[in-house]
Amino acid sequence: MLRGLTFCSFAILLALALAGCGARSQLPAASPASAPEYPVPPGLPDYAFRSALAVKGYSIAFAEQELLSRLPCYCGCGQDSKYKHLRDCFINDQGEFQSHGANCEVCLEEARDAAAWKVEGLSEKEIRARIDAEYEGRGKPTDTPPVD
């Protein structure tokens, strides 16, 4: 009885591990492993140094403001009309850094993925489609016009 239960538990562990691995490979659009290196922008506030991903996210946002302003943010900030696109999570219309992105994994991962897909040669429209496929459902998106 005891041996049977133990083997069942091992089997559950293994099955869940394998199922988990399988589930990762079934994501709608593969997340790129890493984004290219962007220089750390001058005057970056301390809060942007919370994590490696945060520094990377703000560096991307600074260098790719045009691209990020064409992409919706799916973290849930769409519930506030102040946020119109992904760039707003990092830099506002006056060019000032915003702290929202530093505390939000979804914003940071979206910025990282968008930059990596751009380096892969994808057009803005294709990047937008991938972002929609990958992040839809995470939260209410910003009301960002579609890319023509």
Per-residue tokens: 107: 């914003």
* Residue from the set 86, 102, 111, 127 that interacts with another protein by CB under 8 A: 102
Per-residue tokens: 36: 């290219």
Q: Does residue 49 belong to the site contacting another protein (CB under 8 A)?
A: yes
Q: Does residue 91 belong to the site contacting another protein (CB under 8 A)?
A: no
* Residue from the set 34, 65, 103, 123 that interacts with another protein by CB under 8 A: 103
* Alpha carbon distance 140, 120 (integer Å): 28
Q: Does residue 34 belong to the site contacting another protein (CB under 8 A)?
A: no
Question: How crowded is residue 12: how many other Cβ atoms within 10 Å of its Cβ?
Answer: 10
Least CB distance to another protein at residue 68 (A):
17
At position 103, the amino acid (one-letter code) is N
Q: Does residue 60 belong to the site contacting another protein (CB under 8 A)?
A: no
Cα 117 to chain centroid, rounded: 12
Vertex 101: Cα angle to 77 and 55 (nearest 5): 165
Size of the site for another protein (CB under 8 A): 45
* Alpha carbon distance 77, 81 (integer Å): 8
Q: Does residue 13 belong to the site contacting another protein (CB under 8 A)?
A: yes
Q: Does residue 1 belong to the site contacting another protein (CB under 8 A)?
A: no
* Residue 20 and residue 74 in contact, taking contact as beta carbons nearer than 8 Å: no
Q: Does residue 74 belong to the site contacting another protein (CB under 8 A)?
A: yes
Q: Which residues bind another protein (CB under 8 A)?
A: 2-3, 5-6, 9-10, 12-13, 16-17, 19-21, 23-24, 27, 40, 44, 46-52, 55-56, 74-80, 99-100, 102-106, 137-140
